[in-house]
Amino acid sequence: MSKKKSSVLLVYTGGTIGMMQDAKTGELKPFNFNYLAEQIPELKKSDISLSSVAFKKPIDSSNMHPQIWIELAELIRTEYEKFDGFVILHGSDTMSFTASALSFMLENLNKPVILTGSQLPIGIIRTDGKENLVTAIEIAGAKQNGKPVVNEVCIYFEYKLYRGNRTHKYNAEHFNAFESPNYPPLAEAGVHLKYNHQAMAKASAKKLTVYNSLNSDIAILKMFPGINKNVVEAILSAKNLKAIVLETFGAGNCTTEKWLTDLLAASIKSGKIILNVTQCNAGAVEQGKYETSAQLKKIGVVGGKDITSEAAVTKLMFLLAQKLNKKEITRLLTKSLRGEITA
């Protein structure tokens, strides 16, 4: 009896990886994914049954929007039973935001959703896109004892598989564009694919739940030496603002100027949620460790632990849309929902 092939759905949203260079003009234009195997003949040797769907109008990832995340989540809901895994081709600039958002929107995910892209178009001779795409498809179709090896939303880039909501793009020029400083890679691709099973999300016994609403009434307030009252006041008084991601120094520290503490306290008292995340690439917020963060803890700012800014923004969008009260949202912000913070 022949072994059944794994089936993977390839979703092209846009981005550098899906661009081809016009032979006559030299201009980059979207690639026709119906001819994918011609461009990447390695796929013909694969044991995976591959289907593809492309957005009618590919979008640059700088134009990524919560509505697109909802469309992607709904697409996965619709196709979930038909495929063993999903690969989403996406521009790298906002890939960490999309991966983080999808991780919250897809609860009890028992199949891989792998986002990948490239720094150079797939039609360029030195492209990194071919390896990223071929390996992402292999991971999305990988099974062990008949079940998917990966059960979460991930980013695969330059030989490493990361938990999506732990990543951020840190390099605009090198092929290794992403890093996950507070969580180890889930897999590394060399001669063999080596999975870090201990770091991976465990399969859930529950059925997939897809959330299709997000609330983007959020602002990011980044601390810097010399930040003034007028700027902070303008941000905190924005119409319909419900939550603020406060990017602080080091382990969650900021100026102890009374005007700032008073403004933040007044915002919290008015019902807004303030989540403290560090500006550092690695490490965690520990409110109260130093005097310069003790006042934040005292007025009710929520410590974000080691969450990334990308995951903080999308987690707030997700929670605010669930019609929860402030106390429940605050509790869930300090709890790991999809492995986005270290428990």
3-state secondary structure of 298: helix
Cβ–Cβ < 8 Å for 205, 178: no
Burial 304-341 (b: 16+ CB within 10 A, else e): bbbbbbbbbbbbbbbbbbeeeeeeebbeebeeebbbbb
Please enumerate in sequence order all residues whose Cβ is within 8 A of that of 338, keeping only pairs 6 or more positions apart, or say none.
103, 104, 152, 153, 165, 201
Per DSSP, 150 falls in state -
Cβ–Cβ < 8 Å for 340, 183: no
The rounded radius of gyration (Å) of the Cα atoms in the chain is 21
Token pair for residue 296? 């934040």
* DSSP state letters, 5-22: PEEEEEEE--SGGGEEE-
Please pick, among 16, 94, 98, 308, the residue that the annotation labels catalytic: 16
**94 given a catalytic annotation:** no
Pairing of strands 143-144, 147-148: antiparallel
Active site residues: 16
